[in-house]
Structure 1
Amino acid sequence: MTSSLSRIDSNAKSIQIDANLLLIVSISLVAISGVVGINPIMPNIAKSLNIPTQEVGLIMTTFLMPTTVGTLIFGALADRIGRKKVLIPSLLLFGVGGILCAIANNFHSLLEWRFLTGVGAASLESLELTLISDLYSGKMLTTAMGFNSAMIGVAATIYPLIGGVLGELSWRYPFLLSILAFPVALLISKNLKVPTKQKSTGNLNFSNYIKNTFNNIKNPQVFALLFAVFSLFVIELGTFYTYVPILAGTQLGASGVEIGIIICCQSLVFSFVASQVGFLANQFSEKKLIMLGFLLCGLSLLIMPAINNAWLLIIPSVIFGVSVALIFPPLQATLAGIAPEGYRAGFMALNVTVQSLGRALGPLFAGLAYGAWGIQGVFYASVVLIIITVVVFGLLHTSKKLRVVNG
């Protein structure tokens, strides 16, 4: 097998999609099954276990809770002891946790096993991003991040369908999607090639590692990137995924099927454009792509409250999908590219933690805007956040290389 390690070239125009990259992408596909594969069966679980509808959301909360703290811990461990030594046990724990969820005999035990599954999932996204940035650099890194994002978009479209079909047979079956983690762990242990010249931080104690990590992220470029990540996820989960369905259903009379089609269009467009980001990155800088993406995002949100027909929401939703595809992979690639050697996993773990914070606060931010100004206020408040983000990102992010701080 030709290793990606031999093809790192910051001026490359394209990448060869080899077994290494496919193995890394499979980590994403495993991790996302724990969320989008379970979402469709939430009402089934509430009915089958006879629990109040307002409590069923705890199934997602308990799964996502470990990400908040665990991601940073696992990132530090991955930098200190190696990627595979953290990744493989995490995959195995994820698989076992899903099986235990499937055989849970009450809601309380289901929540306990979901938390365990979440511990297994906590490191997966950050380590997958770290491995991509270990293997690629420059425009190749942006291309690889785009390919990974595209595959996540495809999975986010397919998994709900699979979960819904399995859920019709039994609410337990979608949790068994986690067994995909076992063959992935086996293949990674035997076949994944990781860098052999990676700088080690094993001689540092944990407190020094954390200190050095936070010294490095004080750089204005890093702040600008993380603020952009935070804003993107606030808007995506809080505004698009929460309030576009509300706008379509309550204001425009859309059915559940129509809302599903609108959301699906956004996911499909995101996947296609993300797959082309590598080509676009050879024509424009990552900074220009990110800025353009946020401007298109603002445009789509301005259009949405002016729509008077549910089907017309597809137009701004498509624009929104394009915008996220232009923002997300270049953001990930740029952040990974400036991460100091020996601290890359910690950087990417912090990135995932900021994403989780954005997801958590997004609905709250949108809810406050809704309470103050109504449904239109949600979209206009998000546009204001986009303007702030563009200004902060434009002023603080430069093309200068990050100065590494190691003490």
Structure 2
Amino acid sequence: MQPTANNAPENAPQTPKGLIQDQNLLIIFAIALIAILGVSSVTPTFPRLADALEVPPQNIGLLVTVFTFPTVVLGPVLGFLADQFGRRKILVPSLLLFGIAGTACAFARDFNLLLLLRLLQGIGAASLLSLSITLIGDLYSGDRRTTAMGYNASVTSVGTASYPIVGGALASMGWYYPFALPILAIPVGLLVLFALHNPEPKARLNLQEYLRNALIVLKNRQILGLFLASAANFVLLYGAYVTYLPQLIEESFQTSTFTIGLMLSSVSVAIALTSSQVGNLARRFSPQTLIRISFGFYGLALLLVPFMPNLLLLLIPTTLFGVGLGMGFPSIQTLLAELSPRQYLATVMSVNGTFFGIGQTLGPVMMGLAFAMGGINSVFFAGVGFAIAVSIIFRYCVCM
């Protein structure tokens, strides 16, 4: 059996009108918001947690590491299981595990126990983001798919910007209060079980046949190019932007951490506004073109950063960076959904999630080398070169 192109349900309406009111899409939004809850909502409480549990500062980051590690290792396995047994059979137990283990963290008063619970919560989180994107690929096609991907990126951007504020407010009452937020995953799991109406795999393939055909799909030159683009997005986001922009702001403008947080949130605002319009952009430009344009925005934004004389003007490159992410990220997801046969869609999206993790891991290391060689400004110039190189590879070596 050879892989065939993925198509949405034949009876799905193809006009974007009214999409935001679709019950299935609203449930997908809820899954995506739970998927990004596990890190951004709890990092504001880390200083208080470290004091309360007497954790050395160099060890506090383990709370993030043990949570994200299962996504890199288990993501493709869970994607395979979702392709074989159905999306809901993976999503429902994952959401329940996320909710139970995550909420239990609020009652832990030993750091080692907290790490164990975070690991279990991370196992629950491992499939959530990739399967939320998979569901969009299952349910929608054409303009509806592109628009839904954009809306989903907008929602997650709003969550990414909002969760630290909510977590910080809860942490002011006690370090453990932000860890109670994962209880919200339990009702979301029940919604998936009883209210989500999605097409599930109709037949299971022989394992050997499945793996052989999945490998054919994953070797597709265009899909490999999209994996590269996904990893590159996170190299630039977590390397140049998240890791080193705060340091540049603090060194250049001697401002407060609150102001630094506001500057970082400007990217989330730009992502949300741009990705909500990516469906309209897709009617004028192909997803491939939007991805190439997005890397142009990254390069321009990073080139401008070292030359901004004040915080107000620094909003120009941060906004440009967010615009790039807002058009590029949903376009990558849309193209992956279009190129992937439905019976392998969850596997492809989960492997793509693994490339997210690779980008998150390599970004700070690569930009750290640039910093060691030439100082803070060299980080952003290295980011420009990286963005240009990826754009060239994407255009000429991947034939997109």
> Scaled by the length of structure 2, what TM-score is found?
0.95
Write the distance in 2 (CA, Å) between the matches of 1:215 and 1:252. 52
SS across alignment from 1:203: coil
Shift of 1:13: 5.1
The residue that corresponds to 1:278 in the other structure is: 279
The residue that corresponds to 1:142 in the other structure is: 146
The residue that corresponds to 1:176 in the other structure is: 180
Shift of 1:77: 0.3
Shift of 1:285: 1.0
The residue that corresponds to 2:116 in the other structure is: 112
Q: Identify which of 202, 205, 210 aligns with 1:203.
A: 205
What amino acid is the match of 1:42? Answer: F
- Report if aligned partners of 2:19, 2:148 keep a CA contact under 8 Å in 1: no
Q: Which digits, 9 at most, give the CA deviation of each residue in 1:343-374, with x for residues without a partner?
A: 11000000111001101111111111100111
What amino acid is the match of 1:250? Answer: E
- Report if aligned partners of 1:252, 1:310 keep a CA contact under 8 Å in 2: yes
Write the distance in 1 (CA, Å) between the matches of 2:314 and 2:224. 34
Write the distance in 2 (CA, Å) between the matches of 1:212 and 1:376. 46
- Report if aligned partners of 1:95, 1:182 keep a CA contact under 8 Å in 2: yes
The residue that corresponds to 2:4 in the other structure is: none
Shift of 1:203: 3.0
- Matching of residue 70 in structure 1 with residue 74 in structure 2: yes
- Report if aligned partners of 1:234, 1:362 keep a CA contact under 8 Å in 2: yes
What amino acid is the match of 1:294? Answer: F
Give every structure 1 segment of 4 or more consecutive aligned residues whose post-TM-superposition deviation is greater than 2 Å: 4-10, 12-15, 207-212, 396-399
Q: Identify which of 16, 21, 25 aligns with 2:19.
A: 16
Q: Which digits, 9 at most, give the CA deviation of each residue in 1:25-77, with x for residues without a partner?
A: 10011111111101111111111111111110000000001011111111000
Count of paired positions: 392
- Report if aligned partners of 1:15, 1:144 keep a CA contact under 8 Å in 2: no
What's the Cα RMSD here? 1.6
Shift of 1:308: 2.4
1:185-200 superposed matches below 5 A = 185-195=189-199, 198-200=201-203
Write the distance in 2 (CA, Å) between the matches of 1:155 and 1:240. 18
The residue that corresponds to 1:290 in the other structure is: 291
- Matching of residue 325 in structure 1 with residue 329 in structure 2: no
Write the distance in 1 (CA, Å) between the matches of 2:212 and 2:163. 40
Write the distance in 2 (CA, Å) between the matches of 1:144 and 1:199. 24
Shift of 1:88: 0.1
- Report if aligned partners of 1:97, 1:116 keep a CA contact under 8 Å in 2: yes
- Report if aligned partners of 1:13, 1:282 keep a CA contact under 8 Å in 2: no
1:244-323 superposed matches below 5 A = 244-323=245-324
- Matching of residue 354 in structure 1 with residue 355 in structure 2: yes
Write the distance in 2 (CA, Å) between the matches of 1:105 and 1:13. 49
SS across alignment from 2:90: helix
Write the distance in 1 (CA, Å) between the matches of 2:23 and 2:247. 42
> Scaled by the length of structure 1, what TM-score is found?
0.93
Identical aligned pairs, as a percentage?
41
- Report if aligned partners of 1:21, 1:132 keep a CA contact under 8 Å in 2: yes
Write the distance in 2 (CA, Å) between the matches of 1:15 and 1:342. 28
The residue that corresponds to 2:391 in the other structure is: 390
1:47-86 superposed matches below 5 A = 47-86=51-90
What amino acid is the match of 2:238? Answer: L
- Report if aligned partners of 1:239, 1:378 keep a CA contact under 8 Å in 2: yes
Q: Which digits, 9 at most, give the CA deviation of each residue in 1:69-115, with x for residues without a partner?
A: 11111100000011111100000000011122111121110000000
Shift of 1:141: 1.1
**Which stretch of structure 1 is more off in the superposition, 318-327 or 13-22?**
13-22
Write the distance in 2 (CA, Å) between the matches of 1:315 and 1:331. 24
Shift of 1:293: 1.1
- Report if aligned partners of 1:8, 1:136 keep a CA contact under 8 Å in 2: yes
Write the distance in 2 (CA, Å) between the matches of 1:13 and 1:148. 14
